[in-house]
A and B are shown apart, each in its own frame.
Chain A
Amino acid sequence: MTNQVTSTAPQGTPPPDPDDRITTLLAHADDNMVLAQRLGELISNTPELEIDIALGNKALDHLGVARALYTHAGKTEGEGRTEDDLAMFRTERDYTNLLLVEQPNGDFAHTMMLQLLFDAYQMELWKDLSGSTDETLGGIAAKALKEATYHLRFSSGWVIRLGDGTEESHHRAQNGVDALWRYTSEMFEGEAGKYRSAWTTTIEAVFVEANLEVPSAPYQRTGGRGGFHTEHLGFLLAEMQWVQRSYPGLQW
């Protein structure tokens, strides 16, 4: 897929603007950072020990990707900003994560639905970026792709089990779709539009097995990539950043 894009590029295309690259790296880093923080909130609160461990592992995967991307963005920028500077000293307006990942945890079905919608997107994203000409980004993406495969297997398994389960679990899973669907279009804005059809195929296959329906209302919310967030992000960042902001320079 990427080859096609390259081959149709006109001769003498200027190298990508470093600012654009940093913007992209930060957007993906922010997605992973924010979701890691949300998943971290669930530790010790899930229905079973195995799920607790699985979601803790998933949080750790996202945190690891975020750290690697922040570090890489900082180096690319060349102004000495570290992963901590980028994660802990940027405000809500600076964060460009998707609205989807900042949504608060609901019940278990809601949380699994959120993971599914995002995991299916990350599968396509990492597949694409693992062929990046930026070697470091390519390496991070290749690793993240393997992790996303595990994530998707877990979230799709649970969504099918819940959607195709009892009346109550089905109801809750459908509520999850209805609540979160409005944040899905944002994943495919701009260049990311190329991920949409593969993502839709994945989601549709899961929904068929899970007896779930896509909401008919086309209403969609966007803004995260431009730094315009739902009210939830500010609270999340406040909790995540307060130690570093109170005692700047603290290290792991």
Chain B
Amino acid sequence: MVTAPTISIVSARRVAASVVDPEIPVLTIDDLGILRSVEINQGRAIVTITPTYSGCPAMGQIEDDIVTAFEKVGVEDVEVETVHFPAWSTDWISEDGHRKLSEFGIAPPIPEPDVLCPRCDASAPKLIARFGSTACKALMVCSSCGEPFDYFKQF
């Protein structure tokens, strides 16, 4: 028996790609590069994602949000699969993602010596804490405007 797909692969891809990171809501999981693939198999949407950090607590939330996003467009049968290989790296964050992070006030993941203050663009900020508000970020302070900011660690 073959069940007719209720959603096209293009729409399914769009639905999955619209899910945002709950901790950095300006980035979609597509911007982050953790959305690996979307498939439709006999009406079931199969979404494959890769964790950013091993213990990223947002992953569970992201899985739930993917299921919810599909439910909203009438697809009830959703499977979210997590794969660990190859390991995610910040290189997978899109150009667009870098821009959005910067606009949001988070320095994007470039090598530490090249980091600029996302508010005033001054160079050579000071590292305050290597472990910041979330596993993926460190805390820096601008040596020009004095504003503390998050730096998305290059990983």
Contacts and interface: CB of A to CB of B under 8 A. Distances in A.
Given A61-B135, A136-B85, A54 B54 contact: no
Given A50-B129, A58-B131, A147 B54 contact: yes
B84 A154 contact: no
Interface stretch (A62-70, A182-190, A239-247): A62-70
Nearest to A60: B55
A57 interface: yes
A138 B83 CA distance: 12
A17 B83 CA distance: 23
Nearest to B132: A53
A61 B51 CA distance: 12
A140 B84 CA distance: 6
Nearest to B88: A143
Interface string A167-182: 0000000000000000
Contacts of B87: 139-140, 142-143, 146
Contact of A138 (B57, B85, B132): B85
A107 interface: no
B14 interface: no
A144 interface: yes
Contact of B56 (A64, A136, A153): A64
A135 interface: yes
Interface residues of A, number: 30
Contacts, number: 76
A143 B56 contact: no
Interface in A134-167: 135-136, 138-140, 142-144, 146-147, 150, 153-154
A252 interface: yes
A170 B99 CA distance: 46
A63 B56 CA distance: 10
A226 to B, nearest CB: 27
Q: Chain A at the B interface: mostly helix, strand, loop or mixed? A: helix
Nearest to A49: B129
B64 to A, nearest CB: 11
Contacts of B131: 50, 53-54, 57-58, 150, 154
Contacts of A62: 54-55
Contacts of B129: 50, 53-54
Contacts of A65: 54-55
Interface string B116-130: 000000000000111
Interface of B: 51, 53-57, 60, 83-88, 128-133, 135, 139, 153, 155
27 contacts: A50-B129, A50-B131, A53-B129, A53-B132, A53-B133, A57-B135, A58-B131, A59-B55, A60-B53, A60-B54, A60-B55, A60-B56, A60-B57, A61-B135, A63-B54, A65-B55, A67-B55, A68-B54, A139-B84, A139-B85, A140-B87, A143-B84, A143-B88, A146-B87, A146-B155, A147-B54, A154-B131
Interface of A: 36, 50, 53-54, 57-65, 67-68, 72, 135-136, 138-140, 142-144, 146-147, 150, 153-154, 252
Given A36-B55, A60-B135, A63-B54, 19 more contacts: A53-B131, A54-B131, A61-B53, A61-B54, A64-B51, A65-B54, A65-B55, A67-B54, A67-B55, A72-B84, A139-B83, A139-B84, A139-B87, A140-B84, A143-B51, A143-B53, A143-B87, A146-B87, A147-B53
